[in-house]
Amino acid sequence: MRRDLTLPALAAALVLLIVLGLVLPSWLRFLLTIGLAKGLVAMGLVVMMRAGLVSFGQGLYYGLGAYTAGLAANFYGIDDAFLLIALSALVSAIIGTAIGAVVTRFRQIFFAMLSLALSMILYGILVRSSVLGSTDGFNLPAPSFFGFAGEGDAGRLMLYCLTVVVAIGMAAVCHLFVRSPVGVMGEAILSNEIRVEYLGASVTRILRQTYVIGAIAGGLGGTLVALATRHIDPELAYWTTSGEFVFVAILSGIGHVAAPLLGMVLFEGFRSFAFQYAPNSWQMLVGGAMLAVILFLPAGLWSLSKWKRRAGGQA
């Protein structure tokens, strides 16, 4: 068995990304911030998908994280980025535990549909409540970092670094999780649930823990995006947003937990360029790219990295 180089590689990526952040132009740094933050949500989904839970409603936690940060900042004056992140992780974990207890009883299309319904409930509440900004949402103040005001370019650089640290840190946590007994049993559930029960493991408990990991990752991603764009609206919880996360998770492949971070950065980059150069047909380009990936790379982009090895091994 080959040695697992994931953790050193993640550490190297952390250093590289922060150094890059110092030299990159600010638009590219913003793109990376958004890509990594949304990538977190897709990463949580990948962890869930390894255990067979494909949620079409991760927008629920994405929106929840964003609105937790927004409400805490606007109504309670909490503008410390670290505090907001910790708060939304906590809220997502609590809500995820409660909802997870119900939804993990379901599989496949029923699980997907129930998660969709729950995220649309949040959307329905947000759209209709004027206290929460209704369809327009509301703006966030610039976050501070341990008392340092986060105005201007320095603040955006700080937020970028924070996003990189949270994203890479969560990738390490997710990696350790999928390698842990619970994570490995999750994969066993995907291939044969009944046999896992026969082995004496609790399928329900494993799935619940996996679901909470996905919820926390979703909440963190939502908070970081809210802090970066400084605006939140109900669209964050809409089903099209959730569909994007599923797409990126499948595009990246479930082979590696860090893949969705890369996949989401690529996706956001592709979308920005498509939007820039073809403002009236960018959805068409994105849809076409989706079809091409599904048709030609059924195991996701990450499968490209194994291509050569597999070809060599079988020859």
**By CB under 8 A, residue 281 contacts other proteins:** yes
**By CB under 8 A, residue 135 contacts other proteins:** no
**By CB under 8 A, residue 295 contacts other proteins:** yes
Q: Which of residues 45-74 bind other proteins (CB under 8 A)?
A: 54, 56
**By CB under 8 A, residue 245 contacts other proteins:** no
User: Which of 190, 245, 244, 186 has the alpha carbon at shortest distance from 215?
Assistant: 245
Q: Which of residues 193-212 bind other proteins (CB under 8 A)?
A: 193-194
**By CB under 8 A, residue 110 contacts other proteins:** yes
Binding mask 172-191 for other proteins (x = CB under 8 A): --------------------
- Read off the DSSP letter of residue 25: -
Closest approach, Cβ 75 to other proteins, in A, equals 19
Q: Whose Cβ is closer to other proteins: residue 138's or residue 235's?
A: 235
**By CB under 8 A, residue 83 contacts other proteins:** no
Closest approach, Cβ 251 to other proteins, in A, equals 9
**By CB under 8 A, residue 165 contacts other proteins:** no
**By CB under 8 A, residue 243 contacts other proteins:** yes
Q: Whose Cβ is closer to other proteins: residue 36's or residue 103's?
A: 103
Binds other proteins (CB under 8 A): choice among 30, 61, 62, 123 = 123
Closest approach, Cβ 37 to other proteins, in A, equals 22
Q: Is 119 helix (H, G, I), strand (E, B) or coil?
A: helix
Closest approach, Cβ 103 to other proteins, in A, equals 8
Instruction: Find the part of the chain contacting other proteins (CB under 8 A) among 5-13, 35-43, 66-74, 244-252.
Output: 244-252
Q: Residue 264 and residue 200: Cα distance in Å, rounded?
A: 38
CA 65 to each of CA 50, 190, 197, 201, 311: distance values in angstroms, whole numbers, following the listed order = 23, 28, 34, 32, 43
Q: Is 241 helix (H, G, I), strand (E, B) or coil?
A: helix
Q: Whose Cβ is closer to other proteins: residue 201's or residue 286's?
A: 286
Q: Whose Cβ is closer to other proteins: residue 92's or residue 242's?
A: 242
**By CB under 8 A, residue 276 contacts other proteins:** no
**Which residues of the chain form contacts with other proteins (CB under 8 A)?**
54, 56, 102, 106, 108-110, 112-114, 116-118, 120-121, 123-125, 127-129, 192-194, 239-240, 243, 246-247, 250, 280-284, 286-288, 290-291, 294-295, 298
